[in-house]
């Protein structure tokens, strides 16, 4: 097929189009695409100091990473974190969104309160939680008169960290859900009420299906977000915390290797493996989307 | 009207800039400096401002906390955006020198009659001397030592005599045992130390009992030797009556101490300000670091009282706009007069030898002479380092090394095992450098 010749006006328009997308494209290329390519390249290298003198070693880093129990443990830790953060962060946010979508006094105040964790600096949030969890002097143990090592007992530390993740993300998910709820036409609920459907029935038969595009978007972005978690573990767990091994995420381990130990090649390999894992997961999710998401 | 107003303002600004530039002997009107310790900012800025007065070059000092400092410096080194002048540390300095990231100071030092390298602590000077060409890449800024910090109020409360400069680690053990026993119901511990208190803690026991962490040539370790194990065995006994590892990891030894829940900790001279400014600072006092009675004769013999020491260096980036200006600032910081001022202001003890006596009295109401006295009464050993120190230094503090022994100090086997593991970790790390 022969390409249709563009008119002068269309050409002019195209130039403008390029001009408008140029800043975004430049940003993406410099801040995203180039680092991705560079990271992948480094994962095949024994990296030198300060990015100089990289020696190509093929798949040796991958061979080392894939048999390193510490790496597997960190991947498992990351998945455990995601298992807490994603479902709970979404379920609680959905319930809150439905409640706060109703007309009530002080609605915007409540919405603001739930959104506040999102506005706080993650480091500050982590520091406050760290002290609340403190075994000897923490608020939690003092209020409940317990002696639980929330963040030092390897059996429960991962849950404690997951709870902070849920608490931090609820507000953001909630705002997205409220946006989705407001797109659902009121007629449907009216018709359902006339037919005598209960509130709960309306929720399951109207809200959930019509909200599914929003839900899917949140699920997908949160899974990616949870699998790349770093700051929570970094801020809450001391380097000498005995539970660190059972909580440190894949990105935490990457940070340790790439920036503390100065072994960029090994660090790069860890994140490339993580990237491949996330890509596979996203691919599966996209397939599932066609089945589960209801498009109006 | 508005336009001309703007123009004339711009013109005036240009002229003003032109005048200040021509008044100075240097090509730049500002030097950027990075450090990591906020406690030192005020004092160093004061010293730097005095240099600005005569040179006309402004000095802008920015503080970046320890962890981020090295991330920032490394990306700066990789991307060519290092600050003009900055602190260098034993952990990584060899790597920076070998990659030509730092300004070679040889020719400047030669022309500078105020700097004679023989006047500085050898360990610090060695640190900033490159192995392969013998050139100097940093001037010694300071040095630090370790002392024992104790809370008099807690010693009074549980009826234990205050630590003295004649104490051995056995005496520390006795006192810690009594206080921990007496303070059981109050949650008070006699002693607190974490695996991360190495330079300011257990390294000193290893060297005191005749072992080492890294050998003098930085190529091997004897941390698995009988001597080192004897030191760590002493440590283990103290750990049995100290705050549990979980507590020190979650709360921190400093916070435990300042909350009145730990009676003794060891600390480095760079931390004095934290305790000097603390709420109950009247209760706090320093004693010389205890000696290791390795031969068991009950007296402090030659080599039994040791303190780890470390020194920072002032370095400049390899290609600053005006290397002479950067060097002159570095030289200013390290000349005798300014080194004395640094000590007097209580910033740190000097990198120059014999000028730090003023430091002992820099903190009104708090006697910190324990840090200066140890240099006469004991011997100093330089903080162990290799080409890429963090690799093994972090691993030693964690699971698989000393963390296991700290978790259960009642078992001597665990501590001996940790020493052996540490030996392997350090050897592997050195082999990979």
- In tens, the pLDDT along B318-349 reads 999 999 999 999 999 999 999 999 999 999 99
Say if the Cβ atoms of B74 and A259 lie within 8 Å. yes
CA of B240: how far to CAs of B146, B197, B226, B236, B409, in Å? 22, 16, 21, 6, 5
- For residue A51, the chain B residues in CB contact (below 8 A) are 78
CA of B354: how far to CAs of B251, B343, B358, in Å? 38, 11, 10
Say if the Cβ atoms of B101 and A50 lie within 8 Å. yes
* B180, B269: one domain: yes
* B155, B302: one domain: yes
In 3D space, the residue among A246, A223, A267, A231 whose CA is nearest the CA of residue A130 turns out to be A231
Say if the Cβ atoms of B394 and A239 lie within 8 Å. yes
The two beta strands, B284-288 and B189-191, are: unpaired
Mean pLDDT of B224-234: 97
Mean pLDDT of B36-46: 94
CA of B292: how far to CAs of A232, B168, B202, B268, in Å? 41, 6, 12, 18
* B166, B190: one domain: yes
Burial string for B272-305 (b: 16+ CB within 10 Å, else e) reads: bbebbeeeeeebbbbbbbbbbbbeeeeebeebbb
Task: Give the pLDDT of residue A296.
Answer: 60
Does residue B22 surpass a pLDDT of 90?
Answer: no
Task: Provide the pLDDT confidence category of residue A3 given band limits of 50, 70 and 90.
Answer: low
Q: Tokens for B219, please give them.
A: 């190529």
Q: Tokens for A245, please give them.
A: 């091994």
Residues in CB range of A218: below 8 A, 6 or more apart: A90, A93, A173, A176, A177
* B174, B240: one domain: yes
- Cα separation, A157 vs A148, whole angstroms: 10
- For residue A49, the chain B residues in CB contact (below 8 A) are 95, 98-99
Which domain does B278 fall in, by range? Answer: 146-309+363-432
The two beta strands, B146-151 and B262-268, are: antiparallel
State which residue of chain A sits closest to B193, comparing Cα positions. A240
* B107, B154: one domain: no
Domain of residue B152, CATH code = 3.40.190.10
Question: Backbone phi, then psi, for B244, in 5-degree steps?
Answer: -60, 155
Q: Name which of A151, A244, A260 is nearest B390 (Cβ-Cβ).
A: A260
Residues in CB range of A163: below 8 A, 6 or more apart: A84
Say if the Cβ atoms of A240 and B195 lie within 8 Å. yes
Task: Give the pLDDT of residue A104.
Answer: 87
Task: Provide the pLDDT confidence category of residue A230 given band limits of 50, 70 and 90.
Answer: very high
* B187, B301: one domain: yes
Task: Give the pLDDT of residue A243.
Answer: 94
Mean pLDDT of B225-237: 97
Q: Which domains does chain A show, CATH number per domain?
A: 8-56 (no CATH), 69-292 (1.10.3720.10)
Q: Tokens for A111, please give them.
A: 């919405």
State which residue of chain B sits closest to A153, comparing Cα positions. B246
Mean pLDDT of B171-180: 97
Q: Tokens for A209, please give them.
A: 């299906």
Number of domains in chain B: 2
Task: Give the pLDDT of residue A49.
Answer: 83
- Flag whether residue A155 sits within 8 Å of chain B, measured between CB atoms: no
Residue carrying structure tokens 């609820």: A170
- Cα separation, B259 vs B266, whole angstroms: 16
Surface-to-core class of residue B139, CB atoms within 10 Å of its CB (0-12 exposed, 13-18 middle, 19+ buried): buried
Task: Provide the pLDDT confidence category of residue B85 given band limits of 50, 70 and 90.
Answer: very high
Task: Give the pLDDT of residue B292.
Answer: 94
Surface-to-core class of residue B216, CB atoms within 10 Å of its CB (0-12 exposed, 13-18 middle, 19+ buried): exposed
Instruction: Answer positive or negative: Cα dihedral of A92, A98, A101, A102.
Output: negative
Mean pLDDT of B183-209: 96
* B43, B139: one domain: yes
For residues B298 and B392, which has the higher predicted lDDT (pLDDT)? B392
- Flag whether residue A245 sits within 8 Å of chain B, measured between CB atoms: yes
Task: Give the pLDDT of residue B16.
Answer: 44
Task: Give the pLDDT of residue B9.
Answer: 46
Task: Provide the pLDDT confidence category of residue B24 given band limits of 50, 70 and 90.
Answer: low
* B55, B25: one domain: yes
CA of B264: how far to CAs of A201, B169, B374, B390, in Å? 65, 12, 18, 27
Task: Give the pLDDT of residue A191.
Answer: 93
SS3 B188: coil
- Cα separation, B426 vs B432, whole angstroms: 10
The secondary structure of B49-97 as a DSSP string is HHHHHHH--EEEEEE--HHHHHHHHHHHHHHT---SEEEE-TTTHHHHH
Task: Give the pLDDT of residue A121.
Answer: 87
Task: Provide the pLDDT confidence category of residue B249 given band limits of 50, 70 and 90.
Answer: very high
Beta bridge pairs of residue A242: none
- Flag whether residue B390 sits within 8 Å of chain A, measured between CB atoms: yes
What share of chain A has pLDDT > 90, as a percent?
76
Does residue B18 surpass a pLDDT of 70?
Answer: no
- Flag whether residue B101 sits within 8 Å of chain A, measured between CB atoms: yes
Mean pLDDT of B131-144: 92
Mean pLDDT of A217-243: 94
The secondary structure of B92-124 as a DSSP string is THHHHHHTT-B---HHHHHH-TT--GGGB-HHH
Task: Give the pLDDT of residue B75.
Answer: 87
Half-sphere exposure of A153 (CA within 13 A, CB side): 11
B289-325 per-position pLDDT tens digit: 999 998 889 889 988 999 999 999 999 999 999 999 9
Mean pLDDT of A104-127: 89
Mean pLDDT of A23-45: 94
Domain boundary (B354, B389, B408) is at B354
* B120, B177: one domain: no
- Flag whether residue A218 sits within 8 Å of chain B, measured between CB atoms: no
The secondary structure of chain A as a DSSP string is -PPPPPPHHHHHHHHHHHHHHHHHHHHHIIIIIHHHHHHHHHTTEE--GGG-S-EE-TTHHHHHHHT-HHHHHHHHHHHHHHHHHHHHHHHHHHHHHHHHTS--TTHHHHHHHHHHHHHS-HHHHHHHHHHHH-TTT-HHHHHHT----TTT-TTTHHHHHHHHHHHHHHHHHHHHHHHHHHTS-HHHHHHHHHTT--HHHHIIIIIHHHHHHHHHHHHHHHHHHHHT--HHHHHHS-TT-TTHHHH--HHHHHHIIIIIS--HHHHHHHHHHHHHHHHHHHHHHHHHHHHH----
State which residue of chain A sits closest to B404, comparing Cα positions. A242
For residues A41 and A51, which has the higher predicted lDDT (pLDDT)? A41
B78-B81-B85-B88 Cα dihedral, nearest 10 degrees: -20
Residue carrying structure tokens 């080599």: B303
Does residue A224 surpass a pLDDT of 60?
Answer: yes
Say if residues B84 and B102 touch (Cβ distance below 8 Å).
Answer: no
- Cα separation, B70 vs B88, whole angstroms: 10
Say if the Cβ atoms of B245 and A242 lie within 8 Å. yes
- Flag whether residue A151 sits within 8 Å of chain B, measured between CB atoms: yes
Mean pLDDT of A184-195: 91
* B263, B122: one domain: no
- Flag whether residue A248 sits within 8 Å of chain B, measured between CB atoms: no
Task: Give the pLDDT of residue B307.
Answer: 96
Does residue B155 surpass a pLDDT of 50?
Answer: yes
- Flag whether residue B251 sits within 8 Å of chain A, measured between CB atoms: yes
- Cα separation, B192 vs B260, whole angstroms: 12
A258-284 per-position pLDDT tens digit: 988 889 999 999 999 999 999 999 999
Q: Tokens for A126, please give them.
A: 């982590």
Q: Name which of B74, B247, B398 is nearest A135 (Cβ-Cβ).
A: B247
Domain boundary (B354, B376, B407) is at B354
* B282, B342: one domain: no
Task: Give the pLDDT of residue B21.
Answer: 43
The two beta strands, B313-316 and B139-140, are: antiparallel
- Flag whether residue B91 sits within 8 Å of chain A, measured between CB atoms: no
Task: Provide the pLDDT confidence category of residue A4 given band limits of 50, 70 and 90.
Answer: low
Running DSSP on this structure, what letter comes out for residue B310? Answer: B
* B186, B268: one domain: yes
Residues in CB range of B106: below 8 A, 6 or more apart: B135, B136
**Number of residue pairs across A and B with CB atoms under 8 Å?**
74
What share of chain B has pLDDT > 90, as a percent?
80
- Cα separation, B225 vs B213, whole angstroms: 10
- Cα separation, A130 vs B186, whole angstroms: 23
Domain boundary (B354, B371, B386) is at B354
Say if residues B101 and A50 touch (Cβ distance below 8 Å).
Answer: yes
Length of chain A equals 296
- Flag whether residue B318 sits within 8 Å of chain A, measured between CB atoms: no
- Cα separation, B276 vs B318, whole angstroms: 38
Does residue B23 surpass a pLDDT of 60?
Answer: no
């Amino acid at each position: 097929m022969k390409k249709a010749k563009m008119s002068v006006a269309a050409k002019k328009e195209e130039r403008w189009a390029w001009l408008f997308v140029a800043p975004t494209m430049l940003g993406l290329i410099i801040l995203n695409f180039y680092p991705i390519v560079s990271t992948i390249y480094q994962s095949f290298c024994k990296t030198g100091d300060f990015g100089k003198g990289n020696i190509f070693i093929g798949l040796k880093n991958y061979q080392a990473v894939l048999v390193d129990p510490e790496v597997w443990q960190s991947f498992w830790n990351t998945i455990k974190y995601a298992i807490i953060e994603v479902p709970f962060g979404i379920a609680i946010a959905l319930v809150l969104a439905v409640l706060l979508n109703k007309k009530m006094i002080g609605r915007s105040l409540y919405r603001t309160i739930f959104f506040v964790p999102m506005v706080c600096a993650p480091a500050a949030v982590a520091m406050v939680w760290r002290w609340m969890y403190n075994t000897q002097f923490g608020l939690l143990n003092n209020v409940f008169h317990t002696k639980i090592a929330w963040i030092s007992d390897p059996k429960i530390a991962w849950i404690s960290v997951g709870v902070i993740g849920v608490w931090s993300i609820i507000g953001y998910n909630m705002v997205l859900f409220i946006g989705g709820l407001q797109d659902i036409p009121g007629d449907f609920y009216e018709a359902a009420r006339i037919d005598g459907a209960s509130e709960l029935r309306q929720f399951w038969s109207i809200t959930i299906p019509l909200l599914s595009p929003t839900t899917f978007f949140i699920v997908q972005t949160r899974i990616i977000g949870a699998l790349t978690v770093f700051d929570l573990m970094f801020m809450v767990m001391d380097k000498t915390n005995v539970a660190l091994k059972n909580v440190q995420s894949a990105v935490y381990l990457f940070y340790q290797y790439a920036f503390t130990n100065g072994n960029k090649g090994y660090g790069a390999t860890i994140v490339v493996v993580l990237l491949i894992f996330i890509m596979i997961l996203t691919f599966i999710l996209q397939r599932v989307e066609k089945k589960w998401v209801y498009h109006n | 009207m508005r336009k001309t107003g703007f123009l004339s303002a711009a013109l005036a600004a240009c002229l003003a800039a032109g005048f200040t530039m021509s008044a100075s002997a240097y090509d730049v009107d500002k030097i950027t400096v990075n450090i990591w310790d906020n406690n030192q900012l005020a004092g160093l800025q004061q010293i730097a401002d005095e240099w600005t007065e005569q040179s006309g070059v402004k000095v802008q000092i920015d503080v970046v906390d320890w962890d981020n400092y090295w991330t920032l410096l490394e990306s700066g080194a990789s991307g060519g955006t290092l600050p003009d002048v900055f602190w260098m540390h034993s952990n990584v300095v060899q790597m920076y020198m070998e990659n030509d990231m730092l300004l070679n100071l040889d020719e400047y030092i030669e022309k500078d009659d105020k700097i004679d390298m023989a006047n500085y602590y050898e360990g610090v000077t060695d640190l900033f001397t490159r192995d392969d060409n013998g050139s100097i890449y940093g001037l010694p800024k300071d040095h630090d030592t370790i002392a024992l910090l104790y809370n008099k109020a807690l010693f009074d409360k549980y009826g234990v005599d205050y630590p003295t400069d004649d104490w051995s680690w056995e005496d520390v053990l006795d006192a810690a045992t009594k206080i921990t026993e007496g303070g059981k119901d109050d949650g008070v511990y006699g002693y607190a130390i974490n695996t991360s208190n190495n330079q300011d803690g257990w390294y000193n026991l290893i060297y005191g009992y005749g072992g080492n962490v890294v050998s003098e040539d930085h190529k091997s370790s004897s941390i698995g030797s009988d001597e080192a194990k004897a030191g760590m065995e002493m440590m283990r006994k103290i750990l049995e009556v100290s705050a549990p590892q979980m507590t020190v990891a979650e709360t921190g030894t400093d916070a435990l101490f300042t909350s009145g829940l730990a009676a003794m900790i060891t600390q480095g001279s760079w931390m004095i300000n934290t305790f000097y400014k603390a709420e109950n600072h009247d209760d706090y006092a320093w004693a010389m670091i205890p000696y290791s009675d390795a031969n068991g004769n009950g007296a402090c013999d030659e080599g039994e009282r040791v303190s780890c020491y470390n020194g920072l260096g002032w370095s400049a980036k390899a290609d600053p706009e005006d290397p002479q200006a950067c060097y002159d600032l570095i030289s200013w910081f390290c000349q005798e007069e300014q080194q004395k001022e640094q000590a007097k202001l209580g910033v740190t003890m000097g990198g120059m030898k014999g000028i730090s006596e003023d430091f002992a009295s820099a903190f009104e109401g708090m006697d910190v002479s324990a840090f200066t006295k140890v240099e006469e009464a004991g011997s100093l050993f330089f903080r162990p380092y290799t080409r890429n120190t963090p690799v093994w230094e972090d691993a030693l503090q964690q699971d698989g090394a000393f963390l296991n022994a700290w978790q259960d100090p009642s078992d001597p086997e665990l501590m001996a095992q940790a020493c052996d593991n540490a030996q392997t970790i350090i050897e592997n790390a050195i082999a990979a450098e």
